[in-house]
């Protein structure tokens, strides 16, 4: 058994490096996928492997920033943390991440694991791990052509939780996880009603947000969720307040990129909720942007259906475009141009977010960039090169 | 995109017309999936740009429908919704509003029905677990979900407008919008493009005309290539996008029919037509 275990660990470490070396992908999908297929028992090593426990974060929006904040709070407390990146939040990516953060004997290195989990992979991951805390950031319509409807996600979460309660009852001395949920998400209350463990609720008040470098109402929820999650594992109020100012936004979530004398601020806008949130934040912000670049792709990770751009609030859209040069790019730039046109924004310039020459032509020194998922990766790759990601 | 570029005169059109577009929007809070409300925004925009005033009448669960209200409308819109939301409105629609709605459509009222609301106009909907929901029985078609193990029908769709639509003089006029370069295909845009996402499969009776025939995968079901339905002045379809975004001819068809005017002045649809033609590259 331990031989299989060591083989899996080494296989993952070697395959991950080879994939990166030959630039065949991010190296998080295949190793975990193969190990999970041939040796699923490996998960039991991680069920109890972390001395301080595992924290899971799931939901449609805010997973990445919330889990980054949790990891940040814990590191500032002096803990070491295994954390996955947003592109590695499916079952295979989670397992690869866990296997990579082990020593040569396959022993877990870190105190905590903070894992963001794709909403439709949450049930799969929960089967294998015994989290100390689970954060549900909330549910909104996101990439529905991939996911089906909100009802079916809720159904899967609900089944996952009741299976999980059942599995905990079987084993003596196991406490149920603490759940951290959004008070403004009525969908969630329904599935929590039968939960017997502790449930903590966060809202959108901005007391913590003011201490952080983040802005926007949606980030209030992220900061409050993260604070509650770390309080549930013993981090003090005071420690949270002192760590907040040093938090660095995750890439594409308020990240700044400098290029050709311009400052480009990236705000991932992958669905109506995040697009509306970002637009609202830009409308309230004191920063004056000269230009706005909207990039719309329809790749598999984005969802092939771009209908959701009509769920963007037209009024807020007009507000954010006012007085700025507006650029559109991406595989579905025409659809975005039409959407803007119907909102009354008629002066729009087409550009290419994968060409430095084209980006040099974008006017002004401060540019707000709203890309969806694959568009953001392509944009960063163009300006920063692949390895930085 | 400036729809009035080179079409400044169009903006004057509505001034002397003395008509307004009154849209009855059924269950806007419950049935609004995949950007369906964009259809309303597009109808409003394409009418207003031509100087035609628009009024939106939201028809909700608590709205009392009387003949006077239905008579005051010249266009009805109903979007798609998640299953749960469809159940919320189902009883209200069937028991309180259904007969007024089908009567309106029977008398030639103009209507656009997307996805779930299109399904409700047929004889019945059989759900994934075999449960039967009676439809409004406006037209002779039915929808059956083949069960949760069968994949949903999801993807980009291109369809050729059906003969019924192509022979309609209004549709003929509004679809003559192709630029010179597209001469091979003639002057008119006779395709419809959009994105479908549905579990139920719809089967039309032989007497019922589909809206179009798919040249891609998808459509009403997986076997007969039909997509949507067209009858008198009502259009039912599985296409989102929202459907009117890349089908300006369909939008103008609905507006023309609603206002009973033979010809609408042109808008500059150059960008939209490019997007429409580009969509043919997206199909599976």
Mean pLDDT of the A215-220 span:
85
Q: What stretch of H or E contains A267?
A: strand A262-267
- Flag whether B219 is in a domain: yes
**Is B13 part of a structural domain of the chain?**
yes
pLDDT band at A147 (very low <50, low <70, confident <90, very high): very low
Q: What is the pLDDT of residue A145?
A: 45
In this prediction, residue A389 carries a pLDDT of 40
Number of domains in chain B: 1
pLDDT at residue B262, as a whole number: 87
Q: Which residue has the higher pLDDT, B185 or A107?
A: A107
Is B246 touching A (CB cutoff 8 A)?
Answer: yes
pLDDT at B169: 94
| Residue A248's pLDDT band (cuts 50, 70, 90) | confident
A295 pairs with which residues across the strands?
A329, A371
Check: CB of residue A321 under 8 Å from CB of residue A354.
no
User: What integer best gives the mean pLDDT of chain A?
Assistant: 89
Which residue of chain B is at minimal alpha-carbon distance from A303? B155
| pLDDT of A386 | 52
pLDDT tens digit string along A288-338? 999 999 999 999 888 899 999 999 999 999 999 999 999 999 999 999 999
What would the two tokens of residue B187 be?
């002057």
- A99-104 mean pLDDT: 92
Evaluate whether A215 touches A234 at the Cβ level (below 8 Å).
no
Closest CA to A372 of A265, A264, A299: A299
Of A256-265, B203-212, B222-231, B270-279, where does mean pLDDT reach its minimum? A256-265
**Residue B228 is assigned to a structural domain of this protein:** yes
Query: For residue A387, what pLDDT band results from cuts at 50, 70 and 90?
Result: very low
Given this model, what pLDDT does residue A141 score?
58
HSE-up (13 A, CA, CB side) for residue A222: 31
Chain A interface includes B278 (CB < 8 A): yes
Task: Please tell me which residue of chain B has the smallest CA distance to A151.
Answer: B84
Mean pLDDT confidence for B103-123: 96
B3 within some domain: no
CATH number at residue B99: 3.40.50.880
User: Catalytic one among B145, B231, B240, B249?
Assistant: B240
pLDDT for A60 beyond 90: no
Is the pLDDT reported for residue A172 higher than 60? no
User: Is 60 exceeded by the pLDDT of residue A173?
Assistant: no
Mean of pLDDT values over A138-162: 71
- A305 and B197 within 8 Å at the Cβ level: the answer is yes
| A8-17, A98-107, A149-158, A215-224: range with lowest mean pLDDT | A149-158
Q: Which range among A41-55, A76-90, B80-94, B127-141 shows the weakest confidence by mean pLDDT?
A: B80-94
Alpha-carbon gap, residue A343 to B41, rounded angstroms = 8
Tell me the average pLDDT of chain B: 92
The answer to whether residue B284 sits within a structural domain is: no
Q: Work out the angle between the directed axes of helices B270-279 and A333-342 (0-180°, nearest 10).
A: 140
Query: Measured between alpha carbons, how far is A76 from A79 in angstroms, rounded to an integer?
Result: 7
pLDDT at A222: 94
CB distance B33–A150 less than 8 Å? no
Q: Domain span at residue B16?
A: 8-279
Rounded average pLDDT over A18-46:
89
Contacts with B42 from chain A: Cβ below 8 Å: 342
Domains of chain A and CATH, by start: 46-246 (3.40.1190.10), 253-388 (3.90.190.20)
Q: How confident is the model at residue A146 (pLDDT cuts 50, 70, 90)?
A: very low
Q: Is B34 left (phi over 0), alpha (psi -120 to 50) or beta?
A: left
For the ranges A190-199, A333-342, B140-149, the lowest mean pLDDT is seen at: A190-199
Report residue B27 as tokens.
């269950």
Residue A336 distance to chain B (closest CA, Å): 10
pLDDT at position B85? 66
pLDDT of residue A388: 41
Strand, coil or helix: A97: helix
C-alpha A142/C-alpha A140 separation (Å) is 6
Q: Write the secondary structure of chain B as one string of H (helix), E (strand) and C (coil).
A: CCCCCCCHHHHHHHHHCCCCEEEEEECCCCCCCCCCCHHHHHHHHHHHCCCCCEEEEEECCCCCCCHHHHHHCCEEEECCCCHHHHHHHHHHHHHHHHHHHHHHHHCCCCEEEECHHHHCCCCEEECCCCCEEECCCCCCEEEECCCCCCCCEEEEEEEEECHHHHCCHHHHHHCCCCCHHHHHHCCCCCEEEEEEEECCEEEECCCCCCCEEECCCCCCCCCCCEECEEECCEEEECCECCCCCCCHHHHHHHHHHHHCCCCCCCCCCHHHHHHHHHHCCCCC
Report if residue B94 sits inside a domain: yes
Give the single-character DSSP code of A102: B
Could you tell me what percent of chain A has a pLDDT over 90? 62
Residue A385 pLDDT: 76
C-alpha B13/C-alpha B264 separation (Å) is 8
Q: Mutual orientation of helices B38-48 and A333-342 as an angle, nearest 10°?
A: 60
What CA–CA distance (Å, rounded) separates B72 from A233? 62
Residues A194-212 pLDDT 10s: 788 899 999 989 899 999 9
Is the residue at B46 inside a domain?
yes
User: CB pairs below 8 Å between A and B: how many?
Assistant: 87
Provide the pLDDT for residue A143. Answer: 44
- CA–CA gap between residue B87 and residue A24 (Å, rounded): 47
- Which chain A positions have a beta carbon within 8 Å of B127's beta carbon? none
Asked which of A19-28, A128-137, A264-273 is least confident by mean pLDDT, the reply is: A19-28
Q: Is residue B146 part of a domain?
A: yes
pLDDT for B86 beyond 80? no
Pairing of strands B191-198, B153-161: antiparallel
Of B216, B223, B242, B245, the C-alpha closest to B115 is: B242
Sign of the dihedral defined by the CA atoms of residues B160, B163, B166, B170, in that order? negative
| Mean pLDDT along residues B111-132 | 94
B7 carries an active-site annotation: no
């Amino acid at each position: 058994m331990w031989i299989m275990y060591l083989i899996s660990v080494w296989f993952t470490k070697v395959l991950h490096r080879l994939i990166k070396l030959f630039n065949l992908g991010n190296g998080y999908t295949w190793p975990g996928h193969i190990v999970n297929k041939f040796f699923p028992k490996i998960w039991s090593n991680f069920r109890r492997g972390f001395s301080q426990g595992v924290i899971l974060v799931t939901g449609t929006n805010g997973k990445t920033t919330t889990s980054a904040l949790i990891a940040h709070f814990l590191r500032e407390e002096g803990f070491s943390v295994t954390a996955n990146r947003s592109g590695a939040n499916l079952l295979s990516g989670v397992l690869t991440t866990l296997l990579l953060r082990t020593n040569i004997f396959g022993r877990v290195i870190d105190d905590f694991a903070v894992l963001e989990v794709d909403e439709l992979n949450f049930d799969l991951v929960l089967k294998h791990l015994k989290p100390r805390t689970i954060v549900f950031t909330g549910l909104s319509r996101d990439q529905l052509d991939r996911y089906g409807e909100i009802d079916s996600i809720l159904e899967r979460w609900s089944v996952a939780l009741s299976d999980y309660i059942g599995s905990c009852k079987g084993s003596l001395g196991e406490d149920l996880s603490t759940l951290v949920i959004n008070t403004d998400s009525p969908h969630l209350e329904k599935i929590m009603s039968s939960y017997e463990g502790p449930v903590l609720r966060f809202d959108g008040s901005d007391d913590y947000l003011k201490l952080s470098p983040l802005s926007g109402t949606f980030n209030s929820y992220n900061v409050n969720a993260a604070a509650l999650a770390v309080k549930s594992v013993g981090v003090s109020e005071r420690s949270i307040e002192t760590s907040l100012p040093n938090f660095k936004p995750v890439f594409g979530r308020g990240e700044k990129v400098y290029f050709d004398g311009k400052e480009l601020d990236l705000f991932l806008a992958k669905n109506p909720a995040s697009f509306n949130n970002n637009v609202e934040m830009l409308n309230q912000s004191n920063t004056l942007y000269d230009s706005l670049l909207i990039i719309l792709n329809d790749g598999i990770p984005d969802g092939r259906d771009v209908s959701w751009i009509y769920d963007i609030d037209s009024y807020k859209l007009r507000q954010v475009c006012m007085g700025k040069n507006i650029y559109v790019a991406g595989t579905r730039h025409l659809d975005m141009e039409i959407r803007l046109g119907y909102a009354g924004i008629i002066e729009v310039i087409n550009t290419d977010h994968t060409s430095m020459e084209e980006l040099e032509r974008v006017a002004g020194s401060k540019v707000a960039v709203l890309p969806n998922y694959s568009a953001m990766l392509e944009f960063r790759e163009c300006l920063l090169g692949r390895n930085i990601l | 995109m400036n729809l009035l570029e080179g079409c400044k005169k169009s903006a004057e059109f509505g001034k002397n017309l003395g008509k307004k577009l009154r849209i009855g929007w059924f269950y806007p809070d419950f049935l609004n999936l995949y950007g369906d409300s964009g259809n309303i925004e597009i109808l409003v925009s394409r009418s207003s740009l031509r100087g035609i005033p628009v009024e939106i009448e939201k028809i909700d669960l608590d709205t009392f429908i009387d003949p006077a209200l239905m008579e005051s409308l010249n266009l009805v819109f109903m979007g798609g919704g998640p299953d749960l939301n469809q159940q919320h409105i189902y009883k209200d629609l069937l028991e309180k509003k259904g007969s007024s709605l089908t009567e309106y459509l029977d008398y030639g009222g103009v209507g656009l029905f997307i996805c779930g609301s299109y399904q409700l106009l047929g004889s019945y909907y059989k759900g994934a677990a075999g449960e039967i929901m009676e439809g409004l029985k406006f037209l002779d078609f039915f929808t059956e979900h083949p069960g949760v193990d069968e994949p949903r029908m999801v993807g980009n769709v291109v369809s050729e407008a059906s003969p019924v639509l192509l022979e309609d003089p209004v549709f003929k006029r509004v679809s003559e919008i192709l630029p010179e370069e597209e001469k091979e295909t003639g002057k008119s845009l006779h395709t419809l493009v959009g994105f479908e996402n549905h579990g139920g499969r719809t089967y039309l009776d032989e007497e019922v005309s589909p809206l179009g025939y798919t040249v891609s995968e998808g459509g009403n079901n997986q076997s007969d290539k039909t997509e949507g339905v067209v009858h008198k002045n009502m259009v039912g379809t599985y296409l989102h996008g929202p459907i009117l975004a890349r089908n300006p001819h369909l939008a103008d068809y609905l507006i023309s029919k609603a206002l009973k005017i033979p010809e609408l002045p042109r808008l500059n649809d150059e960008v939209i037509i490019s997007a429409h033609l580009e969509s043919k590259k997206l199909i599976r």
